[in-house]
Structure 1
Amino acid sequence: MSRKCQISGKGPMVGNNVSHANNKTKRRFLPNLRTVRLTLEDGTTARIKISAKELRTLKKHS
């Protein structure tokens, strides 16, 4: 199961944890994904994984 938004394609990013002593270790920033059920135009429903930002955008435009 990939951690990727099915609408925007937003996925994990990489960066560093930086300690107080300025030691750097790798880390991942995961997108804020939600599983939602959408009703399609033909009346059927589909479950998709969507980022929270795209979910707000969908609610704004519907």
Structure 2
Amino acid sequence: MSAHCMLTGAQPGFGNRISHSHRRTPRRFDPNVQSRRYWLPSEGRRVRLRLSARGIRTVDTIGVEAAVARIRARGIRV
């Protein structure tokens, strides 16, 4: 589960590489997933979240408390 965003659920997409001769070989489109630590004031501890770039912007917009609530609503343990 390394290339999954905990908040948005972004996961790898699959497609084909197409060479100059137009041969097709399988490839993966991985989301830009990064590990970030946030201070969670309600629990008095830091939480480590694996978020995509869009997920990081979402946390900046809605706040870490609401983001953790959404992650837990998806059934992911934080």
Percent of matched pairs sharing the same residue: 37
Q: Secondary structure of the residue that 2:10 maps to in structure 1? A: coil
Q: Which ranges in structure 2 are unaligned for 5 or more consecutive residues?
A: 64-78
- Structure number with the higher strand fraction is 1
SS in structure 2 at match of 1:48? strand
Cα distance, 1:11 vs structure 2: 0.8
CA–CA separation in structure 1 for the residues paired with 2:36 and 2:30: 18
Count of residues in Structure 1 that have an aligned counterpart in Structure 2: 62
How much has 1:18 moved relative to structure 2?
Answer: 0.4
Aligned partner of 2:27 in structure 1 is 27
Structure 1's consecutive aligned runs of 4 or more residues displaced over 4 angstroms after TM superposition are none
1:34-45 matches, cutoff 5 A: 34-42=34-42, 43-45=44-46
The unaligned stretches of length 5 or more in structure 1 are none
Deviation (angstroms), 1:58: 2.0
Looking at structure 1, the residues matched to 3 and 34 of structure 2 have their Cα atoms a distance apart, in angstroms, of 10
| Cα distance in 2, alignment partners of residues 11 and 31 from structure 1 | 6
Give the superposed CA RMSD: 1.5
Q: Aligned partners of 2:19 and 2:35: how far apart in 1?
A: 34
What is the deviation of 1:54? Answer: 1.4
